[in-house]
Amino acid sequence: MQQILDAFTVFDEGIRTIWCEHSPGTAPAQNIPPGIHLHREILFVLKGNYRFPLNHKVIAPQVGDVILIDRWIAHCANYSIQGRDMLHFWVNLSGARIYMWCIQLDLYGGRKYLMTGTPLAQDMQQLLNRRWDAFAELPAQEALSHLDFYMREPLAMLLDEIRFQLVRSKRQKAGISNELHPIAAIQRIIEAENGRDCSLQRLEQIVGFNRFYLA
């Protein structure tokens, strides 16, 4: 918990850059299978540099940036072998629910979930979707120039709510990620990743339980 809170200090001066499907990028250097799904996602870059596939391009977000991933927009489904020493905080807007995730990649590319499907206040989803829906109605050639106007303040409010919930949970000693029952954690991982790359071997690595227990 403290590790995540400390990492969020990169946003003390606010969000650096917001990226979306209209942001410029380069052609992919390798064929990475994209993730395409019905729900929206928001990624806060807390640590590390990673060339992120988004909308059939590759963008280069930096620490302190935020990536918006709209419904049905192709994006990075699984981290490539180049993913090292990173900390990514995801917000998943799925139906009537909104969840927080935190994924750490170590120096060797090993993945660990520091937070797994933790619920966030539902009213945040209503605000985000209302602004995001309005932004999505803009003509593609105009959208990028209006991105900050439509989304920066809602994202700042989301950022504030995330940090509030982290501090509050820490004080209550609720154990946000580590206290989650492994079966519940697995269900949320499968839901968030739409069943992609969810073998027993990988789930065993993520939640830290023997695959025979999981089976």
Dihedral over alpha carbons 102, 156, 127, 93 (to 10 degrees): -10
pTM over 0.85: no
pLDDT in tens, 40-60: 999 999 999 888 999 999 999
> Structural domain tally of the chain?
2
Closest CA to 96 of 38, 159, 160: 38
Q: Taking residues 69-86, what's their average pLDDT?
A: 81
- pLDDT-derived band at 171 (thresholds 50, 70, 90) equals confident
Closest CA to 18 of 128, 100, 137, 102: 128
* Interatomic CA distance for residues 36 and 58, integer angstroms: 16
- Identify whether residues 96 and 153 lie together within a single domain: yes
Mean pLDDT of the chain: 84
Q: How far apart are the two ends of the chain, measured CA to CA in Å?
A: 29
| Structure confidence at residue 82 (pLDDT) | 67
- Identify whether residues 60 and 28 lie together within a single domain: yes
- Identify whether residues 113 and 200 lie together within a single domain: no
Query: Which residues are 105's β-sheet partners?
Result: 86, 111
Residue type, 158: L
- Identify whether residues 35 and 138 lie together within a single domain: yes
Say what percent of the chain tops pLDDT 90. 48
- pLDDT-derived band at 170 (thresholds 50, 70, 90) equals confident
| Structure confidence at residue 214 (pLDDT) | 53
- Identify whether residues 138 and 204 lie together within a single domain: no
Residue 180 has pLDDT above 60, yes or no: no
Between 68 and 85, the more confident residue is 68
* Interatomic CA distance for residues 113 and 88, integer angstroms: 10
- Identify whether residues 88 and 168 lie together within a single domain: yes
State which H helix or E strand residue 133 sits in.
Answer: helix 122-136
- Identify whether residues 92 and 58 lie together within a single domain: yes
| Structure confidence at residue 176 (pLDDT) | 45
- Identify whether residues 112 and 149 lie together within a single domain: yes
Q: Which domain holds residue 186?
A: 181-215
* Interatomic CA distance for residues 190 and 24, integer angstroms: 31
Dihedral over alpha carbons 39, 44, 45, 47 (to 10 degrees): -120
